[in-house]
Chains A and B, each alone.
Chain A
Amino acid sequence: MAVAAPKRRTAPAPAPSRTSPPGKAAAPARAPQKKAAPARRPRTRPTPKGRAATAPAPSRKSPARKTPARKSPSRKAPARKASTSQAPVRAPRRARTTSRAAAVGGQLIPFASRTAVAVGQLPDSGLMVRLTRGRAWIAVLGVLLAGIVTLNVITLSFAASSSRIDEQITALDQENPILRGRDARVNSPGPVRQAAGDLGLAMPPSEDIHFTDAGPADVATAAQRLAAAAGAG
């Protein structure tokens, strides 16, 4: 649908005055389609001929491509110049009367206006013209749409996996106290004593427990014994 629209409109356009013979100017919609082929040539010089195929009047488009570069700065220039030329004058006043946030806001205004101009000029940019002139833009649009859908799907899957991870964290958090309790049960003195008893271990009577006073020589002896035991093992 979007492809057909410009073709219908280009048919009655006075473009032939520059790119095609006058006799073909009133040709039906198909005629320009056929003539769209030569329009590819100007890829090296895209603007004038490309425009000629689609633009209603060179008188409007040509300035739009050439003069805007000069004119739009010239149109905008006063605004920018006004702001830059006034800046030295206003700056001291702001420093005294306005906050720093207001100053930053003031700097954003020219940036925003430049951005608005750039966006406004985007439809007339060479890239857009090249894209929309042929059929490649359909593929580009398709890819973009597919990309948007993919992004949404990826975002949703991330959210879902994040939620699953949250659930796993919750489950593990819930498992921790249960395991701690199990650990406490296993390590309580009763079961340990029971297990030790099964292994033939028992607490010796107090009179059988001997304490030694450790001195420097004892450390050396212990080290020797440990080394000997390690060697034997």
Chain B
Amino acid sequence: MRLIERRIGLLFAGFLLCFLVIVGRAFWLQGVQGGALASEATSQQTEDVTVPGLRGSLLDRSGNELAASENAVTIFATPYQVKNPPQAAAKLAPILELDKGEVLESLTADNGFSYIAHKVSLEQAGRVERLKLAGIGEQPDTRRTYPQGEMAGQVIGAVGSENQGLTGLEAGEESVLSATDGERRIVRDARGDPIRQETAKEAEDGEDIQLTLDPQIQEKTERVLAEVGETYAPKGATAIVMDPRSSQILAMANWPPVDPNDLSSASNEDLINKATGFTYEPGSTFKAFTVSAALEEKLVTPTSSFVLPPSIQVADRTIEDAEERGTETMSVAEILAHSSNVGAVTIGLEIGAEKFSRWIGRFGFGRPTGVQFPAEEQGLVPSLDEYSGSSMGNLPIGQGLAVTPMQMMAGYAAIADGGILKQPQLIERIGDEKVHEPKGHRVIDAGVAAQVREMLEGVLAAGGTASEVSVPGYTLAGKTGTAQVAENGTYSETKYVASFIGFAPAQDPKFLAAVIVDQPQGDIYGGSVAAPAFGQIAAFSLPYLGVAPE
């Protein structure tokens, strides 16, 4: 009996001892080392992960992405943890498409942290992860891609290494497109498998922007410009296509093109969207506004005749036509069709400096059009008090002032759309919200606009400066321009800007386009360099837009 009790006593003592040991150990672990162990466990078990917000996409009018963001990964190294750096570099380099020496340099850097590759695709990151290399880590990131490559490259623009907009709409619409990163806390079990995820801060994606650009017309316009570039090797070229009824821009192309995916070979000048950032003297394309002003002032009618000498003297300037001729009688319509400088200056003088200055302002020259594009140039228009004695010998023929192609388009859109000047529209939708169509305001009477349109048909008719251009089934109207480039206070004899702005169908325009070629080589005339390009764009766009032949 006693034996049993002793055994029970011993057992009890044993249990008590074990219990005391356990209690002591528990006290040691929880009481003494508790804080340190808890923080260590937390750092092992919980991981705060940055959840990058995705920058908003830029879409064409069909909803195709022109610029998009996708998740990516930045690969970094903790050099002192990397075992056998040469071997690790040999494995990493082909996956990351980097030079082996470059990777090795990162892996053997003196500091405790070095980047190996930025904005690597998730597929590449997965392959790196599967290597399970010690000391190689990944940071979540996003990267910007431009699925359509060069299409509308200058318009779309590009972003920097921190995904901030640098040029084009990427910069102009930064506040809409930019995203805010979030944060997620992941709790892992002993095996490292996640057992709980908590969103500490929700990531906010940027809003998408849908543009008015039509991918087919944009692509066609760019191909035509590429042909112009190849043929005439100009310094640069731009083309804009617009629906004059809504002022929506259907295409905005530049040459030389740039691919926002790789800007390494692009110069700063190449990145400029010439449609809004290039200022030039418009030359003869400006004559349509001179004639419009005269018609609106009821100083002339389309049939009013002028006896035009071979040249005209205004102050210290002698103005002649491009082609030598004797004294001729020309109607206003013929002045436009033959692009007579003497005739246009004569009409300008009829209007007078004060009224002419006011008309330049009414058509929107000298100030930005308001198109939703950053850093739009406003051109250079002399104010009335800046006029010299010869100003009225220059301005009516588009010299002595600088405009942007977009300003010219807006002015011609007013003529095409019955005299209403509207702000050109490039953005159709921001997020789910449709951008309101600009209402515009009347600058000339609808009847005057119709008269100008009719007169501009003559430019493409037989004897006109662009008579070789036609689109079967459609009546085209427009105006050529061949302007000398002003250099060091004088006009260059070798450098020209060839341009053409036109629309169709002539009396009910549904298509408006401008082609401006800066300093073409070989040929310099708007009628032979720019107008054929316009014809090609019109030949594609009119049927594509469903405009029935007349």
Contact = CB atoms under 8 A, between A and B. Distances in A.
Interface stretch (A11-19, A106-114, A162-170): A162-170
A178 B122 contact: yes
A123 B70 CA distance: 64
Interface in B312-356: none
Given A160-B193, A177-B54, A211-B549, A206 B543 contact: yes
B197 A163 contact: yes
A207 interface: yes
Given A178-B122, A207-B473, A163 B194 contact: yes
A233 interface: no
B238 interface: no
A210 to B, nearest CB: 8
Given A160-B195, A206-B472, A188 B69 contact: no
Nearest to A188: B148
Contacts of A185: 147-148
Interface in B140-161: 145, 147-149, 151
B549 A188 contact: no
A181 B68 contact: yes
Interface string B116-156: 00000110000000000000000000000101110100000
A55 to B, nearest CB: 26
A174 interface: yes
Contact of B471 (A167, A178, A188, A206): A206
A230 to B, nearest CB: 27
Contact of B542 (A163, A175, A206): A206
Interface in A196-225: 203, 205-207, 209, 211
A35 B548 CA distance: 111
Interface in B189-241: 189, 193-197, 215-216, 218-220
B27 interface: no
Interface string A68-106: 000000000000000000000000000000000000000
A189 B219 contact: yes
B64 A206 contact: no
A156 B542 contact: no
Contacts of A45: none
A193 B540 CA distance: 14
Contacts of B196: 159, 162-163
A2 interface: no
Contacts of A164: 193-194
Contacts of A178: 70-71, 121-122
Contacts, number: 89
Interface size range of chain B in the complex: 35 or more
A156 B195 contact: yes
B461 interface: no
B296 interface: no
A207 B539 CA distance: 9
A174 B474 contact: no
Contacts of B57: 180
Contact of A184 (B122, B148, B471): B148
Given A189-B215, A206-B471, A184 B65 contact: yes
Given A166-B197, A206-B539, A209-B543, A177 B70 contact: yes
A231 interface: no
B148 A207 contact: no
A190 interface: yes
A167 B219 CA distance: 40
Contact of B194 (A167, A177, A181, A203): A167
A185 B151 CA distance: 11
Contacts of A188: 64, 147-149, 151, 215, 219
A68 B546 CA distance: 95
Given A159-B195, A163-B195, A207-B472, A180 B540 contact: no
A183 to B, nearest CB: 8
Interface string B45-76: 00000000010010000001110111100000
A36 B247 CA distance: 101
A159 B70 CA distance: 28
Interface string B515-550: 000000000000000000000000110110010110
Given A180-B57, A188-B149, 16 more contacts: A160-B193, A163-B186, A163-B194, A174-B70, A177-B71, A178-B70, A183-B65, A184-B65, A185-B147, A185-B148, A187-B64, A190-B149, A203-B540, A205-B472, A206-B473, A211-B549
Shortest 7 CB-CB distances between A and B: which pairs?
A: A207-B472, A184-B147, A189-B219, A184-B65, A163-B194, A174-B71, A177-B70
Interface of B: 54, 57, 64-66, 68-71, 121-122, 145, 147-149, 151, 186, 189, 193-197, 215-216, 218-220, 471-474, 539-540, 542-543, 546, 548-549
8 contacts: A159-B196, A162-B196, A177-B70, A180-B57, A188-B147, A189-B215, A189-B216, A206-B473
Interface of A: 156, 159-160, 162-164, 166-167, 174-175, 177-178, 180-185, 187-190, 193, 203, 205-207, 209, 211
